[in-house]
Structure 1
Amino acid sequence: MAERKKAKYPRVYQKHGAWHWVEPRTGKWIRLCALTDSETMLVERLAAERKRFERPEGTGDMRPLIDSYVLKHKHLHKEKAWPSYGKYAGTGFRNANVADIEPGDVNNWLKIKYAGKLSMQRVMRAFLSGFFQWCVDERKRKTNPCKEVKLKKPKPSKVYITDDDFAAIRAAMLSYTYTTGAGKTITGRVNTGPMMQCFVDLCYLTAQRSTEIRLLKWSQIDRAAGVIHFVPTKTEDSSGIAVDFTINPEIEAVLDRVRSLDAQPRIGDAPVIHALDGTAYGATAVRSAWDRATERVSLADKGYTVKMIRAKALTDAERAGYDIKALQIAAAHSDTKTTEIYLKQRDVPVADVRLRIPGRAA
């Protein structure tokens, strides 16, 4: 195949020593195989990619408009999953016209498609709200139907990572042990373990969202002021609340460990927590590292997630004597009610109320 100058398959081209298929809707170049691979492999890979991008036909204008909306706005969204929300909504409303959508249509789709998944219902309502507002701005309809869609709030999680479990997961970041079918025990070190452990430690010691630690840059660490400058990504376009977190000895020790893992000093916009190639970790990478660690110590069934580290930190700080106002500042929340959601009741209160049956003698 290497000598063939022109592919005989639609939208398949040579690039960098490989065959690529250009996906029609997004224009994305998808690598299929090397030019030296067999034609059978090319055909199989092309069929697999086409199937992956296949979508059921639609009769309305809503899905094409969602496609346009996603292409124009995806660079504004840091969440990698955001374009996928467009795929879900586009498929669900593929036979609908934007001008005809009413609040009840959105409400019914959310509650049927994502029955029992309150968090996903709210995520998709937010996506559709942004889409319909764009449609209003583009004069494709007059109102945003999502403004009249009311959804239940998910109940706050009551799960708290105990100290012993946290210590076990943290230790499991560094090494693994498993038994083969022949009964032989295999142990080893996790190459990314030390950096992932630093990630977990900073999440806990700063009580920040895992995203803030994952994207933390050395330029945010202000030695002169003795603080780390955090501007939470979740609220930078809303409340804009920032927090300068004091670099205490515990945090300094973790930063020293990170520096010791680097062959050369890293400064400026270089990420503090990074992969072996120096790039910032993606959300999936840190989540997978945490999940694998919980599995190694048989704690996967407890449902502990990376996001729960923040709740543990705030709960532990409250128990250590910090008041709700101090915790609100640390968490960069706009009000204390939000902070209270993160606090987990760890001690079962003992009721000491004594009553007597009315009308009966003592």
Structure 2
Amino acid sequence: MPRKRKVEDQWMPQRVYKGRSAYEFKPVGGGTVRLCDVDAKQSEVWAAYEKYMAIANNKHTVQHLVETFFDSADFRDLSLHTRKDYQKYSKKVLSAFGKMDPNTVTPVHVRKFMDILGQKSPVQANRHKAFLSRVFRWAYERGKVQRNPCQGVKQFKEKARDRYIEDYEYDAVYQRACPVVKAAMEISYLCMARKADVVKLHQSQLLKDGIFIQQGKTGKKQIKEWGPRLRKAVSTANEINPDVFSMFVLHQKNGHPFAVASFDQRWRKAIIKAREETQLPLDFTFHDIKAKGISDFEGTVSEKQQASGHKTESQVRVYDRKVAVVPTVESKK
């Protein structure tokens, strides 16, 4: 049985004792943890004890903060794409900061973390910092932390992608792609849609007036009008495992939609085959197909914005990559 405390020490937390120079906590497993100076007030002793226990129980760490954020309504309100990205970014963030007290994380720590990631990928370093900042901003607004250590930490400069796919490059890959990739390329191009919105396209989204698409990133709802080429793309999709009933336009033999990794593998095969047979570099991504669609869409920036579903004209300009043909002095005469 533990020794009975002296009357004057009965106010102390359990397993806390007054040492020569400090109040100390004696964990069950042995050892001694210094809590505060011996001349501290009773309230200060209790505060130090509660802080230590919170950390010991993993309730006052960045790990716990991130887990609480992932369980919040704010996180659930984010798009599926963003939620998946945040969960992916959390792995490296928690590897670096997980066991730290959130209030001890400083801009210097964040800068060092970014510099290490930035050696391989400055863009990824920026994305990880943005995630960490989102967590701390959420926590600060709810009184869980004293500050956001990401504020004032400069991001790496990013160069906007300006790769425009020429028609002959698009055709080179399209002609050598499997039906799954062919259908996805055409739907992405004609509808100016993201890969994630195309790969998970549901049969119920094929309406009388066109294809209903709610963008996973912006939540924008649109019906993309039918045209001969778009109808042909859906017919190509129907040729995929025709004897299999599926609720998805692009589906596997078991009727399930393609996972991103599985679809990406098919895309890479088409690109590699096209490179080998044409000797063209074909250094573009599937995401660049959406940009080609916006670039080829005939209309003003405002009209492109309405058709593509972007929130601002500045976002549209990022995707509008075709080099403009402008008059010269003589052609204007």
**TM norm. shorter chain > 0.5:** yes
Letter in 1 for 2:130: A
Query: 2:10: which partner in 1?
Result: none
2:215 equivalent to 1:232: yes
Structure 1 contact 102–145 (Cα < 8 Å) conserved: yes
Provide the C-alpha distance between the structure 2 equivalents of 1:327 and 1:296, rounded to a whole number of angstroms: 33
2:223 equivalent to 1:203: no
- Given the superposition, is the C-alpha separation of residues 284 and 314 from structure 1 closer, same or farther in structure 2, using an over 3 Å criterion? same
Structure-2-length-normalised TM-score: 0.69
Structure 1 contact 198–258 (Cα < 8 Å) conserved: yes
Which of 132, 145, 148 in structure 2 is aligned with 1:144? 148
Structure-1-length-normalised TM-score: 0.64
Provide the C-alpha distance between the structure 2 equivalents of 1:145 and 1:274, rounded to a whole number of angstroms: 45
Query: 2:311: which partner in 1?
Result: 334
Query: Which structure 1 segments of 5+ residues have no match?
Result: 1-58, 174-192, 354-362
- Given the superposition, is the C-alpha separation of residues 89 and 77 from structure 1 closer, same or farther in structure 2, using an over 3 Å criterion? farther
Query: 1:216: which partner in 2?
Result: 201
Provide the C-alpha distance between the structure 2 equivalents of 1:235 and 1:77, rounded to a whole number of angstroms: 8
- Given the superposition, is the C-alpha separation of residues 67 and 325 from structure 1 closer, same or farther in structure 2, using an over 3 Å criterion? closer
* Secondary structure in 2 matching 1:146: coil
Matches within 5 A, 1:169-208: 169-173=173-177, 193-208=178-193
Query: 1:182: which partner in 2?
Result: none
Percent identity at matched positions?
A: 20
- Structure holding more helix per residue: 2
Query: 1:288: which partner in 2?
Result: 265
Matches within 5 A, 1:300-315: 301-315=281-295
- Given the superposition, is the C-alpha separation of residues 295 and 148 from structure 1 closer, same or farther in structure 2, using an over 3 Å criterion? same
Provide the C-alpha distance between the structure 1 equivalents of 2:249 and 2:157, rounded to a whole number of angstroms: 35
Query: 1:88: which partner in 2?
Result: 92
Letter in 1 for 2:122: L
Structure 2 contact 123–156 (Cα < 8 Å) conserved: no
Structure 1 contact 221–229 (Cα < 8 Å) conserved: yes
Q: 4+ residue stretches of structure 1 with deviation over 6 A?
A: 73-77
Of stretches 66-75 and 154-163 in structure 1, the one that deviates more from structure 2 is 66-75
Matches within 5 A, 1:242-281: 242-261=221-240, 262-263=242-243, 266=246, 270-281=247-258
- Given the superposition, is the C-alpha separation of residues 275 and 350 from structure 1 closer, same or farther in structure 2, using an over 3 Å criterion? same
Query: 1:157: which partner in 2?
Result: 161
Letter in 1 for 2:294: L
Provide the C-alpha distance between the structure 2 equivalents of 1:72 and 1:250, rounded to a whole number of angstroms: 44
Cα distance, 1:337 vs structure 2: 1.5
2:97 equivalent to 1:98: no
- Given the superposition, is the C-alpha separation of residues 312 and 248 from structure 1 closer, same or farther in structure 2, using an over 3 Å criterion? same
Provide the C-alpha distance between the structure 2 equivalents of 1:68 and 1:294, rounded to a whole number of angstroms: 39
- Given the superposition, is the C-alpha separation of residues 161 and 146 from structure 1 closer, same or farther in structure 2, using an over 3 Å criterion? same
Provide the C-alpha distance between the structure 1 equivalents of 2:123 and 2:299, rounded to a whole number of angstroms: 30
Aligned residues: 264
Provide the C-alpha distance between the structure 1 equivalents of 2:128 and 2:280, rounded to a whole number of angstroms: 28
